[in-house]
Structure 1
């Protein structure tokens, strides 16, 4: 299992002992998904939180017309799930689809509370990453309300250069909340 990248990530927030790592190893699973496979689909209940070891995913909502609204991308050392569905065990509002062959380490809803009892530091760890995700979500909301499309794109390009190189432009347009035609014209005007 590719546990080292997860352990390094966790240890940046809380330090696990060798014994705690051993316990953790018994509570997580590694799963490989092929490009275009779904980790979670809208309407299903999200049973796992996934740490990306390799690959890239998009989290999106499909409206009644089938139009995608991309909420986020996730790459190595990032997390993906429909957190609302995971926490409440209700149908997911979002899809998580692999844009590349993707390997993840998954924490399962049915066992995560037992894991927290056995390794209490992990409860603090998850609280910290959820706090970070909440702050990032609020900042994105402010950018979407206050910046122009061009400014939002430049922020995305500067903040996530490794993602821009891995995904099609029409997906970036969806993430920015603009049409692919407008995005293309805007990007051409920057050259």
Structure 2
């Protein structure tokens, strides 16, 4: 089962057919159950996960035990703890499955080898890194400069299907607000529809 990854590489990354088989031989497939941990804080992240089916999240737990969701990864998204992966630092984050999931798994060596094989892959990987930086900057700006309603509207634009797939407390955690504040925001939005 690498069909979703194959189509992603072919249709979005534009990897040439001649290179697809060689690249696909270098990845593995992993099926995980809901709540299964893929990365624990304090460990070095060694993998990137491509979600063929299911849903993952990257999150932190603060000193008081409160979860702070950094990113969701639904189908056709990549997820990793990049600082740990690229620099070999122990991770400050956790990655787990929010649903039973089918994943394509690869490591830093794969990225380097696939980049040597395919210029399209190399260029797309650079695009993903740039897009990740842009996303993080937008997220920081939103958290420090936008009200809860604006953050929620951006969230449903970025993750339209996630609202139906996760508990509301997780959406609130991602937004940096309480579940009660999220309920008020949703109620206010519903009044204006």
Q: TM-score with structure 1 length normalisation?
A: 0.91
- In terms of mean alpha carbon deviation, does 77-86 or 142-151 score higher? 142-151
> Aligned ranges for residues 95-114 of structure 1 at < 5 Å?
95-114=94-113
Task: Compute the displacement of 1:183 (Å).
Answer: 1.8
Aligned length: 190
Q: 1:159 to 1:90 in 2, by over 3 A?
A: closer
Give the match for residue 29 of structure 1: 28
> Aligned ranges for residues 33-182 of structure 1 at < 5 Å?
33-182=32-181
**In structure 1, distance between residues paired with 2:111 and 2:159:** 31
**In structure 1, distance between residues paired with 2:77 and 2:148:** 25
Contact 2:50 2:76 in 1 (8 A): yes
- Once the two structures are superposed, residues 137-164 of structure 1 have per-residue CA deviations (whole angstroms, 9 ceiling, x without a partner) of 2122222222111121122123322111
Task: Compute the displacement of 1:111 (Å).
Answer: 4.1
Q: TM-score with structure 2 length normalisation?
A: 0.90
Question: Over aligned residues, Cα RMSD in angstroms?
Answer: 1.7
Structure 2 runs not aligned, ≥5 long = none
Report the secondary structure of 1:64's partner residue. coil
Structure 1 runs not aligned, ≥5 long = none
**In structure 2, distance between residues paired with 1:29 and 1:165:** 29
Q: 1:115 to 1:190 in 2, by over 3 A?
A: closer
After superposing on structure 2, the runs of 4+ consecutive aligned residues of structure 1 that deviate more than 4 Å are none
Report the secondary structure of 1:161's partner residue. coil
Task: Compute the displacement of 1:18 (Å).
Answer: 2.6
